[in-house]
Structure 1
Amino acid sequence: MKRIRRETSDAAPPAHVPAREAAPSAPPVASAQPGASTRPAPSTQPVADPAGSDREVQVARLFDLHYPSMLRLATLLGADDPENIVAEAYYEIYRKYRKLRTPEAAAAYLRSVVCNLTRMRIRHLQVVRRHVEDRIDTVASAETSALLRDDQRALIRALRALPARQREALVLRHWLCLKEKEIAATMGISVGSVKTHTARGLAALTHAMEVRR
């Protein structure tokens, strides 16, 4: 009798009785533990470019250090709009600053750009004025005039009458006090050519000032 009851209890349930479905388990909840770090969601804000920030700082520093001397350089080389020349030179160095290795290279490149832009400007003015017989005296801005003294005007006129290369060599040598190698790099010529242009320009300038006296 006991044997019959045991076999009956071990038998499978009737087919019409549905098996109990397992209840869906809830997703595990991570419990916050003391000292555990929580990672923030990834930010969608643009990340600042440290290289670009450094470029702006360095170019601003170049502006503070060299703007007056670059303005004088463009003026002495004969630019009729030295402020625009220098502004364009700083924009050019801002674009190419990452290609420059040192701040010294940036300053040298800035001088070179000012010289090239002034040379191009003078050539453009010569083409525009080639049919004009009388020389048109340009009116300098108040900022440019403040940089020049009355006793320098005659010298500036004589300097502007020199050929472009002689004028550039003299300005870079005697106003910016550059070495011959630096002048050669700025003008894109050899050291020997720098010596030749400097000597000829100085002789012509001396003669012009002596005749005036």
Structure 2
Amino acid sequence: MMQMPLDDTETLGEEALLLLFARGDERAAEVLTLRLTPVVLAHAYRLLGDRAEAEDVAQEAMLKLWRMAASWRQGEAKVTTWLYRVVANACTDRLRKRRTVELEAVAEPEDGAASVEAQLQERARVDALQEALNALPERQRQAVVLRHIEGLANPEIAAIMDVNIEAVESLTARGKRALKAALEGRKDELGYEDD
């Protein structure tokens, strides 16, 4: 993909870019796509644990964003908050359908210049975390991913999940305890020192 020179569009916030896109500004659409798609894809992957499904969800979420751009109501929600919620809802739907048939997760290989041994160790850690995340109840998993992997603040998580801040704190705390319990006995296997 050809990289266009930096312009004023790249310094605008998501809401301003969305409104420009609604008025036909193709550059605003390009900047917004490049900025938000990786975030949406990563979030979907963390919730689903399946790269192909995450890509489908990310594509669906971005299409929904483009379709509703003309009717965007300024100031009601952040574009990213709205997108996180769309992704979470799509992932929830897919997880519910998945429950009818038990599937074994297939991990994607990691990129990087690390040694094969280091890559295998990192893959085992990622898989162990994803396995532990998958074992959490849906709402706990969503809260933990949004807080500790996506790095969002509790008020934003509350808006995405449509709960109060206390519920976010409770879900996150219970999820962290469950993750710790699930991974505690695997320190040696995953190559972690006693910490």
**TM-score, scaled relative to structure 2:** 0.70
Query: Counterparts of 2:133 and 2:111 in 1: how far apart (Å)?
Result: 19
Larger Rg computed on CA atoms:
1
- Secondary structure (helix, strand or coil) at the match of 1:96 reads helix
**Change in 2 beyond 3 A, CA 1:165/1:59:** farther
Aligned counterparts, 1:14-163, within 5 A:
51-54=22-25, 56-78=26-48, 80=50, 81-98=53-70, 99-101=72-74, 105-127=78-100, 129=101, 135-140=102-107, 146=111, 149-150=122-123, 151-163=125-137
Query: Structure 2 stretches of 5 or more lacking a match?
Result: 1-19, 113-118, 188-195
Give aligned pairs, total. 155
Equivalent pair of 2:44/2:88 in contact (CA under 8 Å): yes
Q: Deviations along 1:6-54, whole A, 9 cap, x unmatched?
A: xxxxxxxxxxxxxxxxxxxxxxxxxxxxxxxxxxxxxxxxxxx984413
Quote the RMSD (CA, aligned, Å): 2.5
Query: Counterparts of 1:62 and 1:177 in 2: how far apart (Å)?
Result: 20
- Higher mean alpha-carbon deviation, 60-69 vs 79-88, is at 60-69
Identity of aligned residues (%): 34
Query: Counterparts of 2:185 and 2:127 in 1: how far apart (Å)?
Result: 15
- What residue number does 1:207 align with? 181
- What residue number does 1:167 align with? 141
Equivalent pair of 2:41/2:55 in contact (CA under 8 Å): yes
Pick the structure with more helix per residue: 2
Query: Counterparts of 1:185 and 1:50 in 2: how far apart (Å)?
Result: 25
Note the C-alpha offset of 1:146.
4.5
**TM-score, scaled relative to structure 1:** 0.65
Equivalent pair of 2:61/2:86 in contact (CA under 8 Å): yes
Query: Structure 1 stretches of 5 or more lacking a match?
Result: 1-48, 130-134
Aligned letter for 1:119? T
